Each structure stands twice: as C-alpha cells, then as structure tokens.
Amino acid sequence: MAMLDEKSLDLMRRLMEAFGPSGFEREVTAIVKSYMEPYSDEVVSDKLGSVTFVSKGSSERPRVLLAGHVDEVGFIVSSITDEGFLTFNPLGGWWSQVLLGQRVVIRTNKGDIHGTIAAKPPHILPEEERKKVVEMKDMFIDIGATSREEAEATGVKIGDPVVPWSPFQLLHDGKVAMGKAFDDRIGAFVIMEAMRRLKEKGISHPNTVYGAATVQEEVGLRGAQTISHVVDPDVAVVVEVDIAGDVPGIKAHEAPTKMGRGPGLVTFDRSMIPNQAFKEFIIEVARQTQIPLQLSQMYGGGTDAGRIHIHKAGCPTAVITVPTRHIHSHVGLLSLRDTENAIRLVIELIKRLDAERVESFTKI
C-alpha cells in the first residue's frame, strides 16, 4: 500500500502545529492555500474565511464538495486580573478536567506569548476540593506576570485567542501520529492529499471537485453554511475525526470505531441522518476496492455535514472519519494507515460520482 510521503508528513506536522482556533484560522488557511495552489484549477473563498480548491474533471456537474474544518478548539481571553493572570472562555467544547497544568499559546498583536493553565498544589487542597473538577470559569492562565501592568505590557488584551501548546510527534514505529488539532485538520489533510494525487497521477473524474477547508465548525458549523452557498454542491463528503472507542472506559455503543481498523462512515449523529443510497454506495465502493471501513455512530456530536445536507433543496452528504483517540484535549492519537485508507476511499468515490450516480441517490 502506498503510504504518506515526506512532503505529506511535513504538511501534517505544519497543519497540526499551526495556530487557529475558531474565528482565528488565517494562519492555517494560508498553509492550505500555498500547498494546494499547484494542484488546483481554481481557488474560491467565501467572506467568513473558508477556502476551496477546484479540480475540474470531464463534467461541470455534479459538483462534489469535500469539506474538512481547519479551526481547532481553543480559548479566548476574557479578562486580565490585577495580579496579571488571564481568565478565558472556551472556543468549542472542552471538559475542564483536561485543562489544569497544560501549556497554552496566546496570540497578541505583539506576537505569541506562552503560559500555563495554573493549578493549586495538592499540599494546600482540602480533601473535598481535591475530588472536585475545577470549573473553567475559576481557571486562569499564568504568563509569568506579577501585575496587570506587566501582563498588558506583553501586548495581551481581552479577545485574544489561545490554543494548546502541543508539538506534533510520530509514535509506535511511525505508525501513529500524536498532537493537537487533528479535529479536524486531519480531515482537511485527507482532502488535500486526495486532490494532490488527482493532479499528480492525472486521475480523471466525471465531475468538478471542490475541496474546502472550512472555518468555525467548533462553534456551530458556521463555515459549512457559507461555503455551501459558494460551492452549491450536488453531493458532499465531509472528512472528520471520529471518537476512537478503543480506550479504557469507552463502550462500543458510545463510540464503535477503533484506531487502526480503517476509516469510519457515520451512520447517524445529532446533526444528520445520511442519504441512505449514498451511504450504501460508499460501503459498496469500500468493499470492491478492499479498503477497510468501520461503521460509526455518535449520538452526542455533529459535523459540518449537518449544515451542508440541508443546503437549498438538500444535498446527499456522507461523513468519512479517521478514528482519533482523545479528541478535544491537548493531545490526540491517530493511525497513519487509517489516514491513508481515508485518502484512498475519497479518491475512489471521486472517480465514481457522475451525474447519473448522484441523481440516483435522490430518485423516488
């Protein structure tokens, strides 16, 4: 099996280490744009910040939208205390238990500054307090300042964005990647690599492909709405992370996919019930091309597909996933083999999504 080359792995590292919580994605979309320009026939963007790369095939329609969001969960500075500490609100969903003691980066007009979400030492914690989860509203970031004046001198102000500090690494003989922001830059990565291969290998396709790096998913699928308007897709594939359920304490009915067993296909989540004909088509393509595929379900979450599938008169949409351990924390883990298989599956779908096929998904 072809695997990710050095250029791909370098892109993965740069995407994951880039700074870009919801609403502050410009650094990431710039990386996406410069990487994709040589592999695109056209670049189109919307006015919210999402950017889309076009690959023109043998037919103008159907328009196939591939979408992966490039914002990451982070924080936004809500106040500076008299003592020089920063309070913050979440950008996206966080469980406060994963935060204490973690390093963060704050982006200011004067540059990036570093800090830590401080925790009280155990010596001074009363027994009951030790058993409790500290709420985010009671947490603060320590940037090393000893007064408000010192803190403000760094350039930091209310409204500045914050992300986890978390270097990208390969583990387990290079088979597993560890880092932040896999949710959902791995989705954007899969789409970028699929489109790069279309171009490099001259793969023909009976449609026009729009590969989109969307913004502001973690705060309510906002980029999906504006990019749907720009692309006006006939069919869509969202590439996302999945909650890998193969970790202690997670039950199969909560998260059925496992890291390393292939990409997932979402059968249901809170934001979308997929078009059933399209879903069955994807299962059949995976079977024919011998790409491992896991069926997934997530009762509590949603993706950009939640907006895309109800665009205008509706758009058959599916979500293909890369099972990822420990999402929405400083450090996630995923399999490079699953990532490669997701790229292969996306390419096999692009090759087969012609007008007749796409019309068949909605025929009554």
Q: Write out the catalytic residue numbers.
A: 217
Stretch that binds Zn ion, among 44-52, 97-105, 175-183, 276-284 (CB under 5 A): 175-183
Cα(203)–Cα(200) distance, integer angstroms:
8
Mutual angle of helices 182-200 and 26-36, in 10-degree steps: 10
Least distance in angstroms from the C-beta of 328 to Zn ion:
6
State the number of binding residues for Zn ion (CB under 5 A): 1
SS3 3: coil
Give the residue carrying structure tokens 């909560």: 254
Counting contacts by CB under 5 A, is residue 340 touching Zn ion? Answer: no
Radius of gyration of the chain (CA): 21
Stretch that binds Zn ion, among 81-89, 139-147, 183-191, 208-216 (CB under 5 A): 183-191
* Closer residue to Zn ion in complex, CB, 218/234: 218
Cα(16)–Cα(26) distance, integer angstroms:
14
* Closer residue to Zn ion in complex, CB, 141/221: 221
Q: Which amino acid is at 354?
A: D
> Cα 83–88–94 angle (5° rounding)?
140
Could you tell me which residues are beta bridge partners of residue 178?
A: 169, 333
Cα(89)–Cα(79) distance, integer angstroms:
10
Stretch that binds Zn ion, among 41-49, 78-86, 163-171, 178-186 (CB under 5 A): 178-186
Counting contacts by CB under 5 A, is residue 183 touching Zn ion? Answer: yes
Least distance in angstroms from the C-beta of 296 to Zn ion:
15
**Number of residue whose CB is nearest Zn ion:** 183
Closest by CA to 12, choosing from 243, 323, 334, is 334
* Closer residue to Zn ion in complex, CB, 76/156: 76
Least distance in angstroms from the C-beta of 301 to Zn ion:
7
Asked if residues 294 and 282 have their Cβ atoms less than 8 Å apart, the reply is no
Stretch that binds Zn ion, among 180-188, 191-199, 244-252, 341-349 (CB under 5 A): 180-188
Asked if residues 6 and 170 have their Cβ atoms less than 8 Å apart, the reply is no
Least distance in angstroms from the C-beta of 317 to Zn ion:
18
Least distance in angstroms from the C-beta of 268 to Zn ion:
17
* Closer residue to Zn ion in complex, CB, 183/338: 183
Counting contacts by CB under 5 A, is residue 242 touching Zn ion? Answer: no
Asked if residues 205 and 66 have their Cβ atoms less than 8 Å apart, the reply is no
Counting contacts by CB under 5 A, is residue 46 touching Zn ion? Answer: no
* Closer residue to Zn ion in complex, CB, 75/281: 75
Q: Binding residues for Zn ion, per CB under 5 A? A: 183
